Structure 1
Amino acid sequence: MRAVPISANPLKLDVRSHRKCLTICFFLTMGTFQYGLDYALVGGFLSMPGFLEVYGYYSPTLKKWNIDPTVQQLISSLMTIGTFLSSLLVGPLSAKFGRRHGLWAAAVLNTVATAIMLGTTSVGALYVARLILGVSVGWFFTFSQLYVHEAAPAHLRGVVFGFYQVMLSVGSIVGASVDFGTHTMFNKRSYQIPLAIFFVAPTIQSIMIIFFPESPRWLMVMGREQEAEKALRKLRDTAIDEHQFLAELNEIKGSTRDQLEKNKKWLWLEMWRGTNLRRTLLCLSVVCFHAANGSSWVNIYTTYFLTIAGVTNAFAMSVMITCIGLIGCLFSIAFTRYMDRRTVMMIGCSACAICQLMMAVVWTVKPGSEVAGRCVVAFISLFTFFYVAYSPTAWLVGGELPNNQLRPFTYGLATALNFVGNWLGTFTAPYFINPAKLGWSAKYGYIWFGTNALLVLFTIFFIPETRDRTLEEVHEMFENKVPTHKFKTYVCTGVETYGKEGAAKADGLTKRKSFEQGDEKTGAEFEHLETHSARSSNKQDV
């Protein structure tokens, strides 16, 4: 941690002055509610008699309704395929249409998919709907994160990403709670009522986006500099000091011009060239931390361990564990402004490693016992707390690393790979856990202890410190090939120069106003500043 940030961020480093932007970012992250909601709902559907009567079959052997394993896998995997495909499309679509239109498109697809799932009894139509819903969720997830990366003040990006995780956790809690309330219904309403909730968050978000500006950095990349200035003004508080505003605007403008000069037309190729290669590899790695933590198998097989532990009401206990995750998320919002990114990630991955190890050790000592089951459930709860507390930081760092023009391409690819990693963890887990296969059960945690330990080492040696840095500062440090361990103390002179030029322009506007009011002394100062500003502008254009 550091007491005084070494940053070129010209804005007032508080929360109160940026309430307007925080409110906008809160509504923009609302779409991630869908991901948490789906994650919780679908697992419950597969245990609901009302759902199984429509999409499953009655087993005389088991004397209850069951579902074909292939149908079960497709319901889950088609959603993941959709998120994977949509994340890959984020780059070209976002580069052309912007962040807001991407979220509107996600809302439209969400409506179509939900309507199909509510109205159909055909398993084929359900497959199509799940694929479409996956595309929608992927866009909600990625476009919203791109927006808040580019809209939030540098010192509050961590807080904003806490909003994203809160929305995801609340979605999971709502999904698990509604499933708990309807799972005893023996008709289609048992799953139709939960599905109807899919309409709520996207509708609210789509209406609110009408009143919100587009990402100013995207507008700057598109060469629409006047619109970018208007968008930035809408994001910042009306009482903001003009010197601070023009300094920030000039930093974004000057740095973006530099970036556009260096990147050629084929952005998919530019990601892998020069200094962008390092940024791309780091972005892909840190976003995929989520898949390497082992959260997918822990969350999906919680019910199994609840059963072993002798818990009679697994639905209610699942809600409780999800609430623990929300507590972890709220906890992270409180400390994220005051702790370095690297510190948060090292503590988070270390805690995840310890929880995975302890689950495995307990199961090795007392395999299959009620005591072991209860211990595993306790460590699942702790794992959920630490994972949810640290995971927004990994998403945050991943989006801070690419430059303004390449961010949607790099971040979209990273998100797609993370979804693949999560799917792979979910798909392979039964081979390790199932008694008919390897039968490791909680001993599977030994593998994930190893991956988490590697993440800690990777963070120490390769992840740079970006706390309180503007995106333009991060760009300058990568362009100057600053070593990983010098990011924290490096002074960005280039971005700072842009900021001073912007502040000088603000002084010039003040002098102009005084000159027009008849102050001769101030008028002379204004003419001098105008000449200096024009020279600086000419140098920048060259």
Structure 2
Amino acid sequence: MSYIDNNEKDIQAIDPSGQIHGVIRQYGVDDHGVELKLRDAITAERADHEETVWQAVKRHPTSVAWSLVVSMLVIGEAFDSDLTGGLNAMPAFRRHFGKYVDEKSGYQIPAKWQTANGFAATIGSFFSIILCGQIVNRLGYRKTSIIGLVLMMGAIFGPFFAPSLPIFFLGELLCGIPWGFFICIGPAYASEVSPLALRGLLTIWIQACWFIGHFIESGIVYGTQSMESRWAYRIPFLAQWCWPIPVGILIWMAPESPWWLVRRGKLAEAEKVVIRLGVAEGISPSDRVAEMLRTVEIERSQTEGASYIDCFKGSDLRRTLLGCMIFIFQNYTGYTLAGNIVYFMEQAGFPSSSAFAMGLGTVGIQLCTVTLCAFLMAYFGRRTLYLWGLGFTLCCLLITGIVACVPETPASRWIEAVFIIIMAVQYGLTTGPVTYALIAELSSVRLRAKSVALSRASYYLFGLPTGFIGSYSLNPAAWNLKAKSAFIWLGTGSIVFICTFLFLPEVKGRSFRELDILFHRGVPARKFQTTSVDDEDDQ
């Protein structure tokens, strides 16, 4: 019987044994008469493995273009998420919403409100991203993206007109709802429209979009931070109304994911999309659809359903936990400190203008390093690059903490600032971009949207304690640890490094079918790269 989630005519398998065997089994014929054979699927997968990066770029230019466009949704989340931290360092925002501490510290947003405002959008995103996984399954990526953009345009009114911190909190909470849509759709869509040779490169573009959003936000805030009126912090929110309409028009023109269409049994439509996206030399669009159908059937033969509960059954349990683990680790490797670089530098004694300028420069460097990461990941793979990045970060945290323990001088403050900037740059070079490649590849095809949603929801949930620690450790009216807080992240980061070494597999160069089989067989993480999977294997 069919393994496809659809309301159309079921696709009947001819082989009565139910096994995918040999090279002549016909998968079936849908109600549009599209014949799919195992031989076609094997041909398409072999072509994927033989295709080089440059060949993939030349043969699939529209696939590259649409992946880049849909990933741009993340720019909005990046802009607004970074803005909250930047506002805490803005004199006008602190003067209008904060309390006077002393002559040195001036006006400060109370630590409890710093924490609350930082969590507001996270809370909204946590619930919306779970909802998004269900909506994508029914409506597809395109329509769900449009819904998120419309919600974003309405939600910005809250923080823009907020007269008090409680109203500002509520506004940020509402802004978090479309955030959950954007971060769920970006990596899932990119991985499903990308050819194998470009899958890792196009998914790390999502991290580049994060840095683009941060860079735009940092530039606008740098330009308004010297203003004394409420427009100093209102203009950045006003700027967010500029991008949903053009991005929404482009996304409406984009093709739906062919994998989503195959899962819904719309094989003829999937073939038309494949033609738009391009195919490798020597294979036909029907070959590519056959490969997709084969993978979906293999997955459904292992686990029948496609609900959130199914993410925790069989081999999908391991895949879901790995995706959640990778996203959670971002909160516990010191990037909380690096992400608050502007506020940290202000509390370390740097002038506000210098702190904002250094923050803007750091994001600019991060944006450049993502490009370098694409080449490094193509050569070293995901696991190796992630581990090396974590190890380097731990060294930076150790040095930063040690320097913070000596008597404070201008030189020591500069050393602390430099190493925190280096950590931020390292994040853009390794652990940040690699994370998005991993979460898109570790999940099974039919559960991808839900698996990505759970991964990001875990990030939001486990980010609550790190947000609390980050706010209180730097705030002079709270713990006032400053750079000594590096020791906290050194401890948590060491645990992250050990877990990554033990459990994270290498998924570079593997087709979705091969990953399904490797996880189903329970292959240990450190043997993923060397374990072979035959073309005709399905379990």
Q: Same fold (TM over 0.5)?
A: yes
Structure 2: distance between partners of 1:438 and 1:57? 17
TM-score by length of 2: 0.83
Residue of structure 1 in register with 2:327 after alignment: 287
TM-score, normalisation: structure 1 = 0.83
Counterpart of 2:144 in structure 1 is 102
Matched, 1:213 2:277: no
Task: Indicate if the aligned counterparts of 1:308 and 1:370 stay in contact, CA closer than 8 A.
Answer: no
CA contact (8 A) 2:225 2:232 kept: yes
Counterpart code for 1:483: P
| Residues 410-419 or 473-482, more deviating | 473-482
Query: Which residue of 417, 426, 445 corresponds with 1:377?
Result: 417
Aligned to 1:530: none
Q: Deviations over 1:98-152 (max 9, x none)?
A: 2222211110111001134334536554333211211111211111111012111
Q: Percent identity?
A: 24
Residues 383-422 of structure 1: pairs in structure 2 closer than 5 A: 383-390=423-430, 391-422=432-463
Distance in structure 2 (CA, Å) of the matches to 1:35 and 1:88: 16
Q: Which residue of 1 aligns with 2:522?
A: 481
Shift of 1:304: 2.7
Residue 385 of structure 1 aligns with an amino acid whose one-letter code is: V
Shift of 1:189: 2.3
The answer to whether structure 1 residue 142 and structure 2 residue 175 are counterparts is no
1:164 is aligned to 2:212: no
Q: How far did 1:295 drift?
A: 0.7
SS at match of 1:396: helix
State the distance in 2 between where 1:193 and 1:373 align. Answer: 32
Q: Aligned in 2, Cα 1:497/1:481: closer, same or farther, shift over 3 Å?
A: closer
Which of 228, 232, 237 does residue 274 from structure 2 map onto?
232
Report how far residue 61 of structure 1 moved: 8.2
- C-alpha distance after superposition, 1:39-86 (max 9, x if no partner): 332233334454456545678989966545544433222111112112
Residues 297-351 of structure 1 show CA distances to partners (whole Å, capped at 9, x for unaligned) of 3322543335536456211121112222222222212322222111111111111
Note closer, same or farther for the CA distance 1:335–1:245 as it changes in structure 2 (3 Å cut). Answer: farther
Aligned to 1:12, which of 37, 41, 51?
51
2:78 matched to which residue of 1?
36
Partner of 2:31: none
Deviation at 1:153, TM superposition (A): 1.2
| TM superposition shift of 1:439 | 4.9
Which of the residues 378, 383, 390 maps onto 1:337? 378
What are the equivalent positions in structure 2 for 1:135-534 lying under 5 Å apart? 135-236=177-278, 240-241=280-281, 243=283, 245-265=285-305, 267-308=307-348, 310=350, 313-364=354-405, 366-390=406-430, 391-433=432-474, 439-494=480-535
- Indicate how the Cα distance of structure 1 residues 8 and 452 shifts in structure 2: closer, same or farther if over 3 A, else same: farther
Q: Which runs of 5+ in 2 are unaligned?
A: 1-44
CA distance in 2, matches of 1:37, 1:191: 13
Kept in 2, the 8 Å contact 1:255–1:495? The answer is no
Q: Which amino acid aligns with 1:21?
A: S
Amino acid at match of 2:345: F
Unaligned runs of 5+ in 1: 1-5, 499-542
CA contact (8 A) 2:328 2:459 kept: yes
Aligned residues: 490
User: What does the per-residue CA deviation read over 1:336-377, in whole Å, with 9 as the maximum and x for residues that have no partner?
Assistant: 22221111111111111111111111112x243322211111
Shift of 1:205: 1.9
Deviation for aligned residue 1:188: 2.9
**Equivalent in 159, 174, 194 of residue 117 of structure 1:** 159
Is the 8 Å Cα contact of residues 404 and 483 (structure 2) preserved in structure 1? Answer: yes
Partner amino acid, structure 2, of 1:183: Q
1-structure distance, mates of 2:395, 2:105: 41
Note closer, same or farther for the CA distance 1:323–1:206 as it changes in structure 2 (3 Å cut): same
After superposing the two structures, state which structure 1 stretch, 217-226 or 38-47, moved more. Answer: 38-47
Give the 3 Å change call, closer, same or farther, for CA 382–251 of structure 1 in structure 2: same
More helix by percentage: 1
Greater gyration radius: 1
Aligned-pair CA distance for 1:378: 0.8
Matches within 5 A, 1:28-107: 28-48=70-90, 50-52=92-94, 55-56=97-98, 67-107=109-149
User: Secondary structure of 2:532's partner?
Assistant: coil
Give 1:389 shift.
1.3
Measure, in 1, the Cα distance between the counterparts of 2:95 and 2:155. 21
Q: Which amino acid in 1 is paired with 2:493?
A: N
Q: Is the 8 A contact 1:54 1:121 kept in 2?
A: no
Q: What is the CA–CA distance in structure 2 between the aligned matches of 1:161 and 1:42, rounded to whole Å?
A: 26
SS of 2:243's equivalent in the other structure is: helix
User: Does the C-alpha gap of structure 1 residues 249 and 265 become closer, same or farther in structure 2, counting only changes over 3 Å?
Assistant: closer
- Specify the code of the residue in structure 1 equivalent to 2:395: I
Rounded to whole Å, the distance in 1 between the matches of 2:502 and 2:82 is 36
Tell me what 1:25 maps to.
67
Rounded to whole Å, the distance in 2 between the matches of 1:52 and 1:451 is: 31
Q: Could you tell me how far apart the structure 2 residues matched to 1:242 and 1:190 are?
A: 58
Return the letter of the residue paired with 1:9. D
Judging changes above 3 Å, is the alpha-carbon distance between structure 1 residues 136 and 246 closer, same or farther for their aligned structure 2 residues? same
| 59-68 vs 240-249, greater mean Cα deviation | 59-68
In structure 2, C-alpha distance between the alignment counterparts of 1:39 and 1:497, rounded to whole Å: 43
Separation in 2, partners of 1:410, 1:148 = 15
